[in-house]
Structure formats: C-alpha cells, structure tokens
Structure 1
C-alpha cells in the first residue's frame, strides 16, 4: 500500500509538468510571432524551434496549433506551419475591429466605471508616459491605457478580445507612434476620452473611434514600413 501511495504524486505531477512546458513554449513562440521574427509566409521550422527551446517537437506542435486558432500562423496539411501573411487591408481591418471592441466597451464604461477607476487610469497613463523614451515604451503605455478603459466595462470577455487584437497590432502600433504628429494626437485624444468618461458623455466613443481607426492610405504607409523592417532590418 505504501508503495502505491508513493507512486501517485509522480503520476499526478507528470501531466502538470508537460502542460507547463507547452505553456512556456507557447508564450515564447507567440512572442516571436507577435514581433514578426518569422517573416510573413515563411515556413516555421519545428525542429529548429525544438532545439532552440531544448524540448521535443510535441510541445512545439501544440503551441503552434494554438497559434493557428489565434491567427498568428497557418497550417497547410502535409506541408507544415507558416507565418501569417500581412497586407495593408489586413492592418486596416484589424484596427477597425479594435475600434468596435473599444467603443462598445467605452459605452458600458460610461454606465459602470467608478470615479476611482477613472482616476487610476489617468494616474497610470500620466506616470507611464512621464518616463517614456521611445515608441516601444509609448506603445506599452498606450496598450495599458486602452485596456484600463475596457476593463471599466466590467466584462472580462471584452478585455480578452482586446488583448488578442493588441497582440496582432503591436508591431505596427509602435511604428505608428514613431510619427510625432500621431504621438501628440495620442496624448490629446486620451485626455479628451478621460474627460468625457468622467461626465459619462457618450461622445467619448466617437473620439475613441476616430483615435483608433486607420485610413486605407495610412494603413498602406505603416504596413510598407513594417514589411521593410521585417525583410530588410
């Protein structure tokens, strides 16, 4: 009996360790996909990734399968996994989708946000941007601000959807924020959204939509610059 009891923790613990490995590999590979370390259309080499992370191919395949569902990679039967392609129209449409999520969340936040939540979002944005030195840091602060507004809607499913969209746009968002005009508008429009939210003013949703949505022409510019960096450094 003693021997049987001693064996149980090991058996129970094995799946958990395997799940931990898959989760770790998933986070690492997703980060590579988010930052476009796989070039669009490039075949993802499972063997190289397994060697890189010192794991078998199984957790790599499981991680890549999750990323297929999240639209970061595609799978071609009998050929393998490929990095997602990206076009200006894709970028524009994802920004459009992001605007729908955030504007809906803003309207709910007008009904549900507390003064304390609004004050905290304002404090964090001011604190983060006071030490911002580059577009990457500003992009992180910008993401955090928009997540904070969305969380005030009180619906975690909306917040999860926005986090997924943010990951798809992160690379291009940083490029967009390198533009001084765009950067200055971000500060002004965030302030305007907060003031509307304090009053429970639905007009803030239109300010937010204008702030987010990208024109077709601008999407072409940002995507071209992004692809040039991906392929030519």
Structure 2
C-alpha cells in the first residue's frame, strides 16, 4: 500500500497540469458552444498559450481532451482545427439528445418544478431575436436545453450535454439562414416551458420529441448535401 501511495506522489505535478488543462478545455468548449469558434478555424498554440498564460504542454492536453469529444481535429503537419460534424455525427447527436432530454423530463417527479433557469434562457432568446442577433439566439436556445437537462440534477449528465451541444453548434454553422433555423424554437421553447409550469411533464416530453425530430431534419438536410459519407 505504501509503495502505491509513493507512486501517486510521483505524479503530483501532473495533477496540477491536468486541472489547468481541464479548465482550458472548458473555456474553449464554451467558446465553441457559443459559436465564437467556427468549423475549420485553426487554433494557434502560440497565440492561445500566450493569451491564456498557460504552457504549450497544458494547451496540448486541452486540445487532446476536446479532440476526444470530437470538437477538434488534429491534421498531420497542419495543426489543430475546429471540427465540422458529418451527417452521421448529427444523427447520433440527436439520438443522444432524445434519450437524455426526454429522460430528464421523465425524472422530474411531482410538480412544481424549478424552472427559473429555463425562464431566463427563454427571455434571453426573446431579447436576441428582438435585436436580430441570430448567433445569440442560437446560444440562448442551447442554454435553454442545458437548463432543461439540469433539472435532472446530475452533474455528469450536465457535462456530457455541454459537449454534445457544442458539437451540434458546429453543425449549425453550415446553415445559410440561422434565423430560419433558430426562430421557430422560440415558440417551441415557450410551449415546453408552459407545459412544465402547468406540471404536465408528459405533454412536455411529447413536445420535445417533435421539437428534436424537426430540428434534426433541418440540420441533416444541409449536412447530407456536403457529407462524403452519405
């Protein structure tokens, strides 16, 4: 037992670096999820490490984490780039969303539900639409669905959902008309919120199933036109 503890002590330096790398990955993941880093963007090690004040080895570890999450891709002799999801990726993302988001609603138990986060995200979306800021509207829509999943009270599910939605956000950049994509979801989000406010989780789940099917169809229509796998 003592020998095992001694070996852990040898890795003490890695613990600090890994913690920093995780925070750097979280920051980059957020920027991807908010639409600030778009597919095909090359990530400069020099610029990012200098901007964030972290070592190259720490940044590379963060890149490795995000590559594992399918948010980045390493191209030999070219560098690290923000990845563009394929139609196959999109299909799988929506499969996971259907499983996770519907399960979150089914886990709610008896009303009333804590809907403050959903209401804030819905208001955020309305303000973005009024300002015709479609990128912000897309971010607000993702905030709404993260808050929906958060109702399940599982930090692990929350973390997984953040990664999935960030990957989906990359697919949205292929769409020529973000207004047409995001605007209908204001009304759909409001309908979901009203059903939950009335304590009707079953109706909310049915609305969500139709919502996700509609969204998946819109994104796949564009992705398949340029996906070599199809």
> Shorter-chain TM-score: what band?
0.5 to 0.7
Cα RMSD after superposing both structures = 3.8
Gaps of 5+ in 1: 1-12, 228-233
In 2, Cα distance between the equivalents of 1:60 and 1:141? 28
Q: Deviations over 1:92-111 (max 9, x none)?
A: 321232122111111112x1
Alignment of structure 1 residues 61-210 onto 2, 5 Å? 61-74=60-73, 84=83, 86-109=85-108, 111=109, 114-115=112-113, 117-118=114-115, 120-121=116-117, 123-132=119-128, 133=131, 134-173=133-172, 175=175, 178-180=178-180, 182-197=181-196, 198-210=198-210
Secondary structure of the corresponding residue to residue 107 of structure 2: helix
2:40–2:82 Cα contact (<8 Å) kept? yes
Q: Deviations over 1:151-183 (max 9, x none)?
A: 222222222221111111123346487243x44
Say if 1:216 and 1:127 are closer, same or farther in 2 by CA, change over 3 A: closer
Match of 2:221 in 1: 220
Q: TM-score by structure 2 length?
A: 0.68
Q: TM-score by structure 1 length?
A: 0.67
In 2, Cα distance between the equivalents of 1:209 and 1:176? 25
In 2, Cα distance between the equivalents of 1:129 and 1:210? 20
Say if 1:152 and 1:96 are closer, same or farther in 2 by CA, change over 3 A: same
In 2, Cα distance between the equivalents of 1:138 and 1:84? 22
More helix by share: 1
Gaps of 5+ in 2: 1-11
Deviating more after overlay: 134-143 vs 24-33: 24-33
